[in-house]
Amino acid sequence: MRKTLIFAAITAAAAGSTSAAARAPVYSASIVRTALGIPHITARDWRGIGYGVAYAYGQDNLCLLAEEFATVAGQRSQNFGAGAKAVLGFEPVDNQTSDLFFRSAIDLPALRRGARTMAPEQTQLSAGYVAGYNRLLRDLGTAGVPASCRGKAWVRPITGDDMLRLTEKQMLLASSLNFAGALVAAQPPGAPPVADNGGLPEAHPTGIGSNGWAFGGDVTEDGRGMLAGNPHFPWTGPSRFWEMHVTIPGKLDAMGAGIAGSPIPTIGFNKDVAWTHTVTAAQHFTLYQLKLDPADPTAYLVDGKSVKMTAQSVTLPAVGPAPAVTRAFYSTRFGRVIAMPAIGAAWSRTTAFTLRDANQGNQRGIGTWIAYDTARNVGEIRAAAERSLGIPWVNTIAADRFGNVLHADVTAVPNVSAAMARDCATPLSRVVAARAVLLDGSRSACMWQTAAGTPAPGLMPAGDQAVYARRDYVANSNDNYWLSNAGAPYRQLSPILGSWGTPRSLRTRSGLTEISRALAQGKLTRARIQDMVFANHSLAAELALAPVLALCRDKADVAAACAALGQWDGKFDLTSRGAYLFQTFWLKARTTPGLWSVPFDAADAVNTPRGLVTSGAPGEALVAALKGAADALAAQHIALDAPWGEVQFAIDGDRHIPVHGADGAVGILNVQMSEPVAGGIVPRHGSSYVQIVGFDDAGPVADAVLSYSQSSDPASPHFADQTRLYSAKRWHRLPFTPAQIAADSPGAVLRISE
């Protein structure tokens, strides 16, 4: 009874009467936390949702979020030191580069103008988030701030500008942020040189991506849709996911997760539809090669006419004895000038290179996720993605209660057709083709094409991008749109959306193989899908283990390693002995020339290449890789047959929590990319917010686990509670309805308003 009254009080406080609403404060929300610290935020309007989410998120991750606001404001050098590191996107750069990037790349006046055209719901969410964050700081006071950032100058109240910066940063995660070093390094000939810390980002790093599967009514036991989402994201830093449930009675009722600064779930479900995201293989930028005016290296020729670059000066203030740093940045109609000498893209007196980003100024993302949170079926999810082109750099995989599934690889992409990419190529285009589309900036015809009906000039219309709408299944593991259903390959589209008809990653092949095997056994159930997600099966082991064992049995110098592999079960479960040896071996061996006897065949992409070659030079390379792996383990003082759970672990104070899953390159679905520490390895990027969502007559039925838990504060009771759950392959049934919330050990109701 007490629990029922608690939830009733929340709903009543949020809804209120007409007369009470007239006297209501500007911001008001109620927060109740259920098991594992999951907050349920209820408010009467969008302002209140932003207000409550910011407050609750700050309770769990205040220091992380405060540092992120300092980062996007370009204030890391003065607060953390110029030489220390910041995480931009998913990789670290030095703080000075980070500060120069954000101070030059974020156009606040333009973002403020854009904010005036956003839907009221979006502006209200942002305003509420600012108010909720600042309210938490006031309530905590200096003494209440977590120890890791207590008394720090960068823990400060925020403004709407901070939210504009943070949202813009999230839009640029898979594009401009990866070129921060190249942007900072770009200086005209004759200017003082800047260290070459710029290079092309890795092409579609499928080893660290995500998995999204949606199963339709034709293949599920209950005839309804079911979603399996497993985004692979960092275990530390601002891209950690955080679970939340947000409710505006009669308008919004959605649950799921978002990263730092997300005022609503960006992955999750409501009563009718569930969705997840995987990083798309599409490119959200193009590079341009400019022909410079012989008389002026800061002017470029377009159709033979000289056009002056626009210069911007950025100064970082002096910090202690270190002097102020001033840097010039240059822009063109083809984007901002970059320099990557290592790949031949230096700024000379004749040539310069630029980056144009389709997500620069993209303020449509949150509005699209509002539409997702309130959608009634996958058709409305699709319509929102296609209408807004606001999803920045991720696929959308969705399922609804009616048995429909969707894969929409529809994002903010430059409108560059295959013909245009071919006709506008330069001699260097072929060199960088695997990682970027490079176009000729000396011709106006090579500007992105403007299509009718798109929300911004130069974006590729949704009709030219890839959408699967089906009732059997769709699956994506960061390979491109071509093969999201093994039985229905997609037609070839522009190369800016990814290569077509090419080999799939082992992880993509593993997922499609597991789905095929599961469907061969009959209609799918929740339990079988859960087993697939955490099966920890390695396709590399399936393809290579037996022939490697046959090869190494008579080799004295790898006899011990061969014996250890002989007892491995081919999985990366906690008890799997020899798993670390195989992973270390495979990362060395996988690129061996001539490794497969059966080459890739586009007509059988799931099963090729295959047939490990163990004779001749490939066989010698395999033995050398195995010996190298054994030597590496010896140097780390790790036994060849060590159980995987003793090698890979998360750290909670002085305790280790064993972690299953492995490097995506071994063809495993449950990815954990780890880095070495004393005695083993710890996850840095991998399975994060894992959800299995289906539907019954009453609403959603969602099982989930957040691998690294809700809070980044070691003092929090929710710093590692879900990590232990994940370690044990246990799921938490997420409470969604009032009755479920009341039954899931809710704490006291926290009401905040102003």
DSSP assignment, residue 372? H
Q: How far, CA to CA in Å, does 250 sit from each of 253, 526, 651, 741?
A: 8, 29, 43, 18
Please list the residues that pair with 325 across neighbouring strands: 316
Residues near 296 by Cβ (< 8 Å), separated by ≥ 6? 306, 308
166 to 74, 371, 378, 597: CA distances (angstroms): 11, 21, 29, 49
Which three-class secondary structure string do you get for 423-463? HCCCCCHHHHCCCCCEEECCCHHHCCCCCCCCCCCCECCHH
Tokens 């580069």 locate to 97
Cα(58)–Cα(52) distance, rounded to whole angstroms?
Answer: 10
In the Cβ-directed half-sphere of 668, how many Cα atoms lie within 13 Å?
29
CA distance 464 to 478: 19
Going by C-alpha positions, the residue among 269, 370, 399 that lies closest to residue 733 is 269
Beta bridge partners of 289: 353, 440
Retrieve residue 716's tokens: 């929090």
Tokens of residue 84, six digits: 């220390």
Whose tokens are 């997922």? That residue is 511
Catalytic residue among 28, 175, 210, 442: 210
For 357, the 3-state DSSP assignment is strand
SS3 145: coil
Is residue 474 within 8 A of residue 468, CB to CB? The reply is: yes
Pairing, β 325-332 against β 267-269: unpaired
DSSP state of 208: G
Which CA distances in Å does 456 have to 113, 173, 370, 439, 449?
Answer: 15, 19, 20, 20, 11
CA distances 522 to 351, 508, 518, 519, 702, Å, are 60, 22, 7, 5, 22
The residues, ordered by sequence, that sit 6+ positions from 167 with a Cβ below 8 Å of its Cβ are: 126, 261, 363, 365, 366
Q: Which of 356, 343, 98 is nearest to 201 (CA)?
A: 343
Using N-to-C axis directions, what is the helix angle for 365-373 and 160-171, rounded to 10°? 80
Burial 710-722 (b: 16+ CB within 10 A, else e): bbbbeebebbbbb
> What b/e string do you get for 384-420 counting C-beta neighbours within 10 Å, with b at 16 or more?
bbbbbbbbbbbbbbbbbbbbbbbbbbbbbbbbbeeeb
Among this protein's residues, is 210 annotated catalytic?
A: yes
Give yes or no for a contact between 435 and 451, defined as CB atoms under 8 angstroms apart.
no
SS3 at position 700: strand
Q: How many helices (H) and strands (E) does the chain have?
A: 22, 33
CA angle in degrees (0–180, nearest 5) for 170-173-179:
135
At 191, phi and psi to the nearest 5?
A: -80, 155
Return d(Cα 171, Cα 169) in angstroms, integer: 5
Q: Roughly how many angstroms between the first and final C-alpha of the chain, as a whole number?
A: 30
Beta strand 596-598 with 226-230 is: unpaired
Return the bridge partners of 701, or none: 694
Q: Mind telling me the catalytic residues?
A: 210
